[in-house]
Chains A and B, each alone.
Chain A
Amino acid sequence: QSALTQPASVSGSPGQSITISCTGTSSNVGSYNFVSWYQQHPGKAPKVMIYEGSKRPSGVSNRFSGSKSGNTASLTISGLQAEDEADYYCCLYTGGSTSVLFGGGTKVTV
């Protein structure tokens, strides 16, 4: 069982918006801002979509956005497209590489 809880699956129609939650505790998500989100297509390596909770790496579509409130981080995908169908993982880094936690993953179906 992961320390960070994500819904197993989320689905939406093309053009819609969906939100994936990543729930931790006051000791992890609630205490650190280094939440990142990864997109993984079948058989492929994960790709970072969001880092530091809400920042997008160069080249990532602005349809992807991240936020955090209390002990829960969220990833929102707006204007859902077929290519967004993938597994998504949240990840918490506690600084100094002392600890890294992954969520259990969410399968997004478009």
Chain B
Amino acid sequence: QLQLQESGPGLVKPSETLSLTCTVSGGSISNSNYYWAWIRQPPGKGLEWIGSIHYRGSTYSNPSLKSRVAISVDTSRNQFSLNLNLVTAADTAVYSCARLKGYGDQEGAFDIWGQGTLVTVSS
């Protein structure tokens, strides 16, 4: 059964870059039918899509974050990563990776999620 696991620092200083990696296990990231996404949730608030990537490298980002977001994929390691630069306290959130069905049945559904990791922006 496919699983996702986020990893990275839990504390980032203001103005620095938040870097997270999502490791895909139990299946291949190189599946044409799926995108791989990052979603965040500030404490006590709702979900916010950050962006998505296809294993072939095409990326899409939330317009509100686009200038600060970079998403990459490493098919050899079955991983994809998020870099968010110039962070502020407003970027404090639980960051989750998820699988997004891009084509076919269940198109548009985030069907598998990681457990999420809390990243705090503070000096």
Number of interface residues of B (CB under 8 A): 25
Q: Inter-chain contact count A-B, CB under 8 Å?
A: 73
Of A47, A92, A93, A97, most B-chain CB atoms within 10 Å: A97
CB of B102 within 8 A of CB of A34, answer no
A69 contacts the other chain (CB 8 A): no
B31-67: CB near A (< 8 Å → 1, else 0) gives: 0000101000000001111001010001010100000
CB of B115 within 8 A of CB of A45, answer yes
A57 contacts the other chain (CB 8 A): yes
B108 contacts the other chain (CB 8 A): yes
Closest to A46 in B: B113
Contact pick for A34, options B52, B58, B108, CB 8 Å:
B108
Q: Which residues of A contact B107 (CB under 8 A)?
A: 34, 51-52, 93, 95
Interface residues of A in 91-110 (CB under 8 A from B): 91-93, 95-105
Contacts known (A97-B35, A97-B60); A48 close to B47, Cβ less than 8 A: no
Q: Chain A's nearest CB lies how many Å from the CB of B40? A: 10
CB of A98 within 8 A of CB of B46, answer no
CB of A57 within 8 A of CB of B106, answer yes
Q: Chain A's nearest CB lies how many Å from the CB of B107? A: 6
B14 contacts the other chain (CB 8 A): no
Additional A-B contacts beyond A47-B113, A52-B106, A91-B108 (5; CB < 8 A): A51-B106, A57-B106, A97-B52, A100-B49, A102-B47
* Interface of B toward A, CB cutoff 8 Å: 35, 37, 46-49, 52, 54, 58, 60, 62, 96, 100-102, 106-111, 113-116
* Interface of A toward B, CB cutoff 8 Å: 2, 34-36, 38, 45-48, 51-52, 55, 57, 89, 91-93, 95-105
